[in-house]
Amino acid sequence: MAIALNLLVQFAQMALVLALAPLFAGFVRKTKAHLLRRRGPPLIQPYREVLRLLRKDVVLADSASWVFRVAPYLVFATTWVAAALVPTFATGLVFSYAADVIALVALLGSARFMLALAGLDVGTSFGGIGSSREMLIASLAEPAMLMVVFTLSLLAGSTQLSSIAEFMQASDVGLRFSLALALIGLVMVAIAENARIPIDNPATHLELTMVHEAMILEYSGRHLALIEAAAFLKLLLYVSVIACVFFPWGIAVSGQGPVAYMAGAGVYLLKLAAGGLLLAVFETAIAKMRVFRVPDFLGAALMLGFLATLLLFVTMAR
């Protein structure tokens, strides 16, 4: 019975993240537009974009191989599975017994790998630039993310996100400096991974320093729709990870009644709204970085992750 319930929660969660991801992206865009005193597109604009792209025909380059055609499906699938691992409104997800947070990092890494391959596949120079820059960012962002994960796992004694969230929620964690460092490091990684403003500009299509858009320039139709949806999912995933680990209040623990689940969903929506607001304010306030400064930015994130782990050892030596 418990397993059936957990399975139900798991599928509800998968549907929820898929349904909410474009809305979240739309919310961030709308807030940014308001901060610039513009009206901005309606909240449901990202849904419309994806649906329009799904209806359109695919235009394939002559030099495109099967890698180019397969990549969007794999990118979308891996990102969706990764998003299914993050407890959003309830812990005790069935999938989290099969894959922990290190597997989550690996899933995101393979999605990135396939996107970079697809960027190289057609043979345009722009795609190649995008892929090489994406790999430059990834080579620093991934270890930084792993260090943050190690800090959390050492503290919680588990690598499962569900258990980490329950640990953070239940026991008195106390005032942990390492956690603050890990939070800042994770936020920096999230900004870099989602191509948000100091690293990359998500609003433009033609700019010499762009990274993510350069890789997917050759895509069209349903392929592009899947990649866009995967990008929305990834943004939601990072915000959810930060919310469930560092602000776990209100997440329903498995076995509580339906009221707890409803409350968890409501609190989750509030957290998303707060996260989107903060992201929009941050992006409006800051200028884009030169590409050659990006390694410094991510080096700082890596340093924070390392430092969090090291300081944790001092505390645990008691």
Q: For the CB of residue 296, give the shortest distance to other proteins in the complex, in Å.
A: 5
Residues 195, 283 contacting (CB under 8 angstroms): no
Which of 3, 175, 208, 287 lies at the binding interface for other proteins (CB under 8 A)? 175
Residue closer to other proteins by CB (options 27, 167) is: 167
Residues 164, 152 contacting (CB under 8 angstroms): yes
Helix axes 45-55, 2-35, angle to 10 degrees: 110
Residues 6+ apart with CB under 8 A from 88: 13, 16, 17, 240, 243, 244, 251, 268
Which 73-102 positions form the footprint of other proteins (CB under 8 A)? none
Nearest CA among 265, 282, 275, 274 for reference residue 19: 265
Which 288-317 positions form the footprint of other proteins (CB under 8 A)? 295-296, 299-300, 302-303, 306-307, 310-311, 313-315, 317
Residue closer to other proteins by CB (options 141, 225) is: 141
Taking the CA atoms of 84, 85, 86 and 90 in sequence, report the sign of the dihedral they define: positive
Residue closer to other proteins by CB (options 97, 313) is: 313
Which of 53, 167, 177, 245 lies at the binding interface for other proteins (CB under 8 A)? 177
Which of 176, 183, 263, 289 lies at the binding interface for other proteins (CB under 8 A)? 176
Cα(127)–Cα(213) distance, integer angstroms = 9
Nearest CA among 208, 212, 227, 172 for reference residue 53: 227
136 binds other proteins (CB under 8 A): no
Residue closer to other proteins by CB (options 156, 251) is: 156
Which residues contribute to the site for other proteins (CB under 8 A)? Answer: 174-178, 181, 295-296, 299-300, 302-303, 306-307, 310-311, 313-315, 317-318
